[in-house]
Amino acid sequence: MRGVQAINLEKTSTYIDGDVSYWYRGSGIPQRRPALAGDTSVDVAVVGGGLTGLWTAYYLKSAQPDLRIAILEKEFAGFGASGRNGGWLSAEPPGELRRYAETDDVASAVRLQKEMFAAVDEVLRVLEVERIDAHVQKDGLLHVATTPSQQARLVKRMPRMRRYGWGEQDLTLLSASDLSRRVKVAGAVGAAYSPHCARIQPALLVRGLAQVVERMGVAIYEGTEVTQVQPSLAITTHGRVRADFVIRALEGFTAGLEGLKRAWLPMNSSMIVTEPLPSSAWDEIGWQGAELVGDEAHGFAYCQRTSDGRIALGGRAVPYRYGSRWDNRGETMSTTFDQLRVQLARLFPATRSVGIEHAWAGVLGVPRDWCASVGLDRATGLGWAGGYVGHGVTSTNLAGRTLTDLVLQRETDLVTLPWVGRKVRKWEVEPVRWLAVRSLYLAYHAADRRERVSNSKTSAIATLADLISGRR
């Protein structure tokens, strides 16, 4: 953690940089559980103590209480994206639904979307049953267009969303005046609203879930780095763990495992959070509920009004570090902070005189085709889930239930969803990977700048970047 002096547009402030995330400021960095004490054997070994691993352990233990399950975590449970994200418990699909339909029929892609809708409420159900207070409020999600080109893309995308299971009740177009009755976003020309989203406090969610699975009898070994995964074996810095099934649940940290550096790209995403806003600022913004807010820019921003009266905003200013590296406990670059601060003031001018209290970063997993996957090879006992492309809070729950059915050989609808067993080609080698990703996001930011001063057409720069990156 370090204090950084920052020009705050109209106010100079010192903000905390890193220290994992702001979400842990309130709950506190948890005291580490003991590390693995040597070689051991279990039924299921889960590599990674984030939401994917915890949900998998939760549903496995619920279904079969006598299973011996061990979670192996390098830092502490929830150290990664699970404790650093924007707090969107949303039904946004983990990848383009049309891409899932390329290898299956449209009906299967629709089933995946319907399961995402249901997963939002399933998480809320578990939180209530297990009495986990994660500051949840389900007020929906607003996709806001702040330029004519963004509005044109939003309208154009609607028929495709309808085709893949988004009914009138699931996604509704709003006029600028309709939007302003919920929240006033500067320059907004329209929006789309979905009720399938709840605000959460990420650290409270993952910390509470870890405590629940531990009470159920799951062993969580922290400070235990897994360096290699082999059939029915996880090799750690503290011993070997033999298991019938070894589940890889590392998301953006997957590149740290031997032989998997090019499997999923560790995409960097950063956040800032304001000081508590005065009532005058909230009166100007008019954001009285807990709707999540995201814009339709190519280098998009995502926001929430926190339960303690702040605005948390995230984006991908510097999206990738050379060699698939990641941050040092959430520390951000000063250029990233500056870009996010400007974006916050652009969307909500009332925040210009409000200080920024904390900035942090983390990585999410991105497959080459930008679509998540879940799978289990019964011949080797190796399973995996991840690549959620920024929509992991809900997707992890669906993945955990799917992995449970795969491990227990249950013939359910979940194991036939189109993301099960999906495999894609590896990312390019360095320096091609770094040059390509950096160039693409420079292009996206250039496209956004151009669209803010141009007509309603999407910039040709962004169209070309989408084609090269595989995002669309």
**What would the two tokens of residue 163 be?**
């085709």
How confident is the model at residue 435, as a pLDDT? 84
How confident is the model at residue 129, as a pLDDT? 98
Is the confidence at residue 170, as pLDDT, over 90? yes
| Model confidence pLDDT, tens digit, residues 85-131 | 999 999 999 988 988 987 678 999 999 999 999 999 999 999 999 99
The answer to whether residue 430 sits within a structural domain is no
The answer to whether residue 433 sits within a structural domain is no
Is the confidence at residue 424, as pLDDT, over 90? no
The answer to whether residue 91 sits within a structural domain is yes
**What would the two tokens of residue 354 be?**
């409000």
Is the confidence at residue 299, as pLDDT, over 90? no
Query: Are 39 and 238 a contacting pair, CB within 8 Å?
Result: no
Cut 0.75: pTM above it: yes
How confident is the model at residue 453, as a pLDDT? 73
The answer to whether residue 405 sits within a structural domain is yes
**What would the two tokens of residue 134 be?**
């994660």
Between 362 and 459, name the one with better pLDDT: 362
Q: What is the mean pLDDT of residues 182-210?
A: 98
Q: What is the mean pLDDT of residues 347-369?
A: 94
Q: What is the mean pLDDT of residues 382-398?
A: 96
The answer to whether residue 450 sits within a structural domain is no
Helix (H, G, I), strand (E, B) or coil at 212: helix
Q: What is the mean pLDDT of residues 337-345?
A: 94
Is the confidence at residue 4, as pLDDT, over 70? no
Compute the chain's Rg from CA coordinates.
21
- What are the residues whose beta carbons fall under 8 Å from the beta carbon of 49, sequence distance 6 or more? 71, 72, 73, 75, 76, 77, 78, 79, 210, 220, 222
How confident is the model at residue 326, as a pLDDT? 73
How confident is the model at residue 317, as a pLDDT? 65
Which range (218-222, 248-252, 294-298, 407-411) has the least confidence?
294-298
Is the confidence at residue 454, as pLDDT, over 90? no
Q: Looking at the 3D structure of the chain, how many domains does it have? A: 1
The answer to whether residue 327 sits within a structural domain is yes
How confident is the model at residue 349, as a pLDDT? 97
How confident is the model at residue 1, as a pLDDT? 46
How confident is the model at residue 443, as a pLDDT? 74
Q: What is the mean pLDDT of residues 412-431?
A: 92
Query: Are 85 and 313 a contacting pair, CB within 8 Å?
Result: no
How confident is the model at residue 7, as a pLDDT? 47
Q: What is the mean pLDDT of residues 235-259?
A: 95
What is the chain's percent helix, strand, coil content, to nearest 5?
35, 25, 40
| Amino acid identity at 163 | R
Between 471 and 351, name the one with better pLDDT: 351
State the chain's mean pLDDT as an integer.
91
Is the confidence at residue 218, as pLDDT, over 50? yes
How confident is the model at residue 413, as a pLDDT? 97
Q: What is the mean pLDDT of residues 159-170?
A: 95
| Amino acid identity at 416 | T
**What would the two tokens of residue 445 be?**
């930011």
The answer to whether residue 172 sits within a structural domain is yes
How confident is the model at residue 147, as a pLDDT? 92
Which range (20-24, 161-165, 290-294, 314-318) has the least confidence?
314-318
CATH number at residue 212: 3.50.50.60
pLDDT band of residue 470 (cuts 50, 70, 90) is low
| Amino acid identity at 44 | V
The answer to whether residue 351 sits within a structural domain is yes
- What residue numbers bound the domain in which 405 lies? 2-425
Instruction: Kindly state the DSSP code that residue 366 receives in the 8-state scheme.
Output: E
| Model confidence pLDDT, tens digit, residues 51-93 | 999 999 999 999 999 999 999 999 999 999 999 999 999 999 9
